[in-house]
Structure 1
Amino acid sequence: MDTNGQRRRAAATGELLQQLLGSRPTYVRTWRVHGDRQRGEINQRAVAKVLALYLWDEGIRPDSDSTLPVKLKNLVNRAFSGERLTATTLEQFIGAFAMTEEDQKELWQIFLGADGVAHTVTAPRGLARRQWHRTMALFERYYVDDQRNLSLRRTVQCVEAREDGVDSYLFNHEPSVTEISVTHGGRIGRHYEYGGGLIADDIVLDQPLREGDRTALEYTSRYEPGNGVTEVRRPARGRTSNVTVAVHFTPRARPACLWFSVWSDHMLGGPVEERIVSLEPSGQACVCLPYIEQTVIGFRWEWTET
């Protein structure tokens, strides 16, 4: 792990964050309601109050914590210097100041050091419940069988609690899923149908998490026979980091063409971006991304006519 590189990126991100909050009129107006400039500089106490209001409104911190703005003053100072700027803290600054897509993209590019895929979903579907976790790493592999049907999906991910009391993970999946097996980290709980055709199941965690705690999940999805699926879509509402998605075809069923694709919806419409990817000799195609957010990614393929 390049810790020196991470420190440099965090410092550069903190510097940019401070510049944006001190120069963008919309952001300045947001914090100046709570305090004027100090010696021509950003009022960090006022910025801390904006963050506190956001955390209270989002339910991330309880309203009863009246000392939160004071506690956050030190966080603001350390975030500006890059000394203590984490992905979660950066998310909170972005949310609290309702930052533009352009500013978000620039901040994340510097922080992560590479491009991800974000903000292709322009009309988000409703949530079954508020998202209270963040995915820190995701590896997902899809399997297509000899009969050209999607047969299996294996998922391994690390989730981090954004608040105390996180006891489940909401797994959104395709309607053609017939069985979900959790091999590590939890068990299947409540079933949901919501958001204009979305389907999900709770994975109840083995132990509830406190804010900042992480746990690993491993689970497998099986699909109904004869589904004839020719695309797989993986949505991300909040930021998901360190993403690897792969699809595997058997020697008897290799596609004529395969694309890594990006969509604007969980189920509807064609890709808004895509590029051709090649199969490895093993029959696998794999794409790695530093992050995805407010987007839908996956693969689609076409068969040779028989």
Structure 2
Amino acid sequence: MTHTLRLPQYLPVRQRHRTVSVFERHVIGRDGAPERHRTTRAVMACEDGVHSFPCRLPPGAVDVAVLRGARVGARVGARVGARREFPGSTPVVELDFPAPLEAGQIASLEYEVVYAPLREQVTEYRRVAHARADDVDLVVEFPPSPRPARIWWAAWDHHRYGTLLISETPVALAPDGSVHRFVPALEHAAAGFRWTW
């Protein structure tokens, strides 16, 4: 899926890497709001001296734990300390690689975003790719109750919520309460799932 974004999107930190594969598991809690989000990602350096991956926290996220392949601050497993704030963006946390990457070198990392309690109910999850991202695997898990009434695979013209829906295809909820979609590539696009309760 390519070129659904109508305008170039604002990137608070220059992208010095390319995603060569990513698996995202987005978990919705019983309150209908995001509870946690786990990402396993392989990134390739586009230039020499790439020392970190900029993790842009989604709205409502309060913390991130690095599980493998990078660190926040001094150690793997650390929680977010200092965040970089940018006008018109959610906070960005730099996940430091153990050693700087040279051009063409690939690093793998795994991290989990944690959300605040007393969150707002949501009706969509979007994955945005500014540069090309290959092998994108997306899963959204719902609790046993409530379950969505209807779910669609969708594409949007912008990375923010409330913007123009370009296309949608109905999808069925799996017996375990999840939806899944594998996309060979995303580039300059916003895609994901939307649902009604």
The alpha-carbon deviation at position 150 of structure 1 amounts to: 1.3
SS at match of 1:193: coil
State the distance in 2 between where 1:276 and 1:292 align: 20
State the distance in 2 between where 1:271 and 1:192 align: 30
Q: State the one-letter code of the partner of 2:128.
A: P
On the 8 A contact 1:127/1:194 being kept in 2, the answer is no
On the 8 A contact 2:66/2:72 being kept in 1, the answer is yes
Gaps of 5+ in 2: 74-81
2:88 to 192, 196, 209: 196
Q: State the one-letter code of the partner of 1:281.
A: P
State the distance in 2 between where 1:195 and 1:246 align: 30
2:6 to 122, 142, 153: 122
1:224 to 116, 129, 137: 116
Tell me: higher relative CO, structure 1 or 2? Use CA pairs within 8 A at least 6 residues apart.
Answer: 2
- Whether 2:150 is the aligned partner of 1:254: answer no
Deviations 1:229-262 (Å, cap 9, x if unpaired)? 2211221111000010010112122100111121
% identity of equivalent residues: 35
The alpha-carbon deviation at position 270 of structure 1 amounts to: 3.4
Distance 1:296 1:199, change over 3 A: farther
1:168-179 map, 5 Å: 168-179=52-63
Give the count of matched residue pairs.
187
Bigger fraction of residues in strand: 2
TM score, norm. by length of structure 2: 0.89
Distance 1:272 1:173, change over 3 A: farther
Deviations 1:57-102 (Å, cap 9, x if unpaired)? xxxxxxxxxxxxxxxxxxxxxxxxxxxxxxxxxxxxxxxxxxxxxx
1:261-280 map, 5 Å: 261-268=154-161, 269-280=163-174
SS at match of 1:188: coil
The alpha-carbon deviation at position 195 of structure 1 amounts to: 5.9
The alpha-carbon deviation at position 145 of structure 1 amounts to: 1.6
| Residue 31 (structure 2) aligns with | 147
Gaps of 5+ in 1: 1-116
CA RMSD of superposed structures (Å): 1.5
TM score, norm. by length of structure 1: 0.58
The alpha-carbon deviation at position 205 of structure 1 amounts to: 1.1
| Residue 238 (structure 1) aligns with | 131
Q: State the one-letter code of the partner of 2:171.
A: V
State the distance in 2 between where 1:147 and 1:134 align: 35
